[in-house]
Amino acid sequence: MVKIRFPDGTERSYPDATPIRDIVDGLGGRLKKEALAAQVDGVIKDLSFCLKNDAALKFLTFEDADGAGVFHHTSSHILAQAVKRLYPGVRLGIGPAIKDGFYYDFDREESFTPEDLEKIEAEMARIVEEDLPMERFELGREEAIAFFSALGEDYKVELIRDLPEDTIISCYRTGEFVDLCAGPHLPSTGSVKACKLLSLAGAYWRGSGENPMLQRIYGTSFPKKSLLDQYLHRLEEAKKRDHRKLGRELDLFSVHDEAPGFPFLHPRGMIIRNELEKFWREQHALAGYQEIKTPIILNRVLWERSGHWDHYKENMYFTRIDEQDFAVKPMNCPGSMLLYRLDLHSYRDLPIRLAELGLVHRHEMSGTLHGMMRVRAFTQDDAHIFMLPSQIKEEVAAVIELTDRIYSVFGFDYHVELSTRPEKAMGSEEMWELATTALREVLEERGMAFIINEGDGAFYGPKIDFHLRDSIGRTWQCGTIQLDFQMPEKFDLHYIGEDGQKHRPAVIHRVVYGSIERFMAVLIEHFAGAFPAWLAPVQAVVIPITDRHHAYAASVLKRLREAGIRAESDTRSEKVGYKIREAQLQKIPYMLVVGDKEAEAGSVAVRERAGGDRGSVEVSEFINALLGEIAASQLRCPETTIDRAL
């Protein structure tokens, strides 16, 4: 008998070699229908796996990331089988699961077309309908080479030859189709109820430009058609919100061939950036931070001392000055360390909170560049907190509170992840355990749910990452809190303690926006370009009905601008309806129409971007109401808004 422990703490005994599928069936309930695979002592296995030893068992459904990965991986095999049925001469590359779907790489002389994707999708539906079992079998290395050579699958043979000679090779068979794969997989193809092929792309075999270019087919799949429909709706919504598209349409930023990965901000984009920076400075001043500025270029000796030269060199840019090697900074932390080291600090001085809007440069591959989301130069809203070890938990909690306050203004929910020691790391395991425990305890004491992200910490310390959820449910990693005991040692930082002796401070590295450029891109997509009034590049546009109302429109515009409102006037010789539609396309929060009646009464007819006609109001009333809305938005106090004031 084997003893099985379940996640709820219960234990049951089963006969040796009991398949996991039998255990699921015996438990019944939702799991019987929804279980896709299982974790056996943390290792993901097929439901056909037979339990031979005592183990901890957790069933995986589509709601689990690992369960969804198994589901999508099986879907990639169905895609490959469909392609081989329709185009037998195609040779197979690889087909992994990815976030929200899967892909498979194919070597085919002719290019796939959108019409081909329709045929392949239809064939995939037939394979699902056939409900073919996913049967795992194993071969010795030489057997596997002979097997896949006979099939003409050269890429599979290359993968097998890279494995040690004593490797047992696992394969999966579905009907007439066999693929090289470690698994695990679903029990059968019939579990994949809804598939959709999404796009085509080129991809070099094994990611090297020296290898053949293959054709990559991307797809997604779900256990229910309703879930697929929801996902496709989100994709359509995401296309409408693409920050690159809206950046052009709203005249916010551009990217040029002359500077790949280095976006240009236009005047309207600069307004948004300046508002973000102004808000950031206000909040940090209230939280006791002092703002600094450190150089963009620093010499090689500094980067060797910090550890970046050994751990981050491939992502850095270099130059020579006066026969010395220098690097353009990829991170701001070494500059803050130098500033702290300038003075002799007492324990009474700590914590010292140094904040910097620091421009950094990192080398990114050209294929990864993406608007303002993935760039080569960006500004981090960085801060470094130098503190006593006894102040760690208090300071981490204060950063969490500041981060939460800032995110709430934009309407973001978020979840957090705790990332632990990576494979390449500085410092002892004991120091890492101390730092990781401190971060974990702060999260637990605040009652915050969090996910452990094993091995994803910075090379100098563990971290808490904030993942924002936008208005259509996507998540974006922005803020981070990193606890560091390594750099104080590297830079010989100290303070004088109560005992009159030198002691090492601890350091928190943290960002809230993360990258201002990326945060702007997230905001563009979150709001679909329809920014709240306090962020909108143009907060109000004055629209005269005819030419004779231009003078009054100019006087209204003057009053708005004198009050600090970002306003424009549309005096083109176009109909009022056309001007209103144009203003709505530009997503301007308020349109102020003026004609004879308004000129005589000293008023404006207010149209709201989303709410339509709001009626006429005196100019001073509108100004006060809009200023109140702007102030209330930043304080998260909706009691004072245009709607209520009007």
Active site residues: 333, 362, 380, 382, 384, 463, 509
Q: Does an H or E element contain 36, and which?
A: none
Residue 540's nearest CA partner among 572, 506, 563 is 563
Gyration radius of the chain's alpha carbons = 30
> Do the beta carbons of residue 22 and residue 50 sit within 8 Å?
no
Report the distance separating Cα 155 and Cα 203, nearest Å: 14
Report the distance separating Cα 500 and Cα 76, nearest Å: 65
For the record, the structure tokens of 363 come out as 């080398």
Report the distance separating Cα 463 and Cα 453, nearest Å: 10
State yes or no: cis peptide before 184, omega within 30 of 0.
yes
For the record, the structure tokens of 467 come out as 């993942």
Report the distance separating Cα 132 and Cα 140, nearest Å: 25
Interacting residues of 1 by C-beta distance below 8 A, sequence separation 6+: 13, 14, 15, 16
For residue 337, the SS3 value is: helix
DSSP letters of 268-325?
Answer: HHHHHHHHHHHHHHHHHHHTT-EE----SEEEHHHHHHHTHHHHSGGG-EEEEETTEE
Residue 47's nearest CA partner among 70, 15, 75 is 70
* DSSP letter (8 states) at residue 286: H
Residue 587's nearest CA partner among 625, 622, 540, 627 is 540
Location of structure tokens 């009034």: 533
For residue 544, the SS3 value is: strand
Report the distance separating Cα 228 and Cα 193, nearest Å: 9
Interacting residues of 403 by C-beta distance below 8 A, sequence separation 6+: 466, 479, 481, 512
Interacting residues of 235 by C-beta distance below 8 A, sequence separation 6+: 198
For the record, the structure tokens of 460 come out as 């100098």
Crossing angle between the packed helical segments 154-161 and 141-150, to the nearest 10 degrees: 170
* Residue 24 CB neighbour total at 10 angstroms: 19
Q: Does an H or E element contain 597, and which?
A: helix 596-601
One-letter amino acid identity for 379?
T
* Residue 221 CB neighbour total at 10 angstroms: 29
Report the distance separating Cα 39 and Cα 51, nearest Å: 11
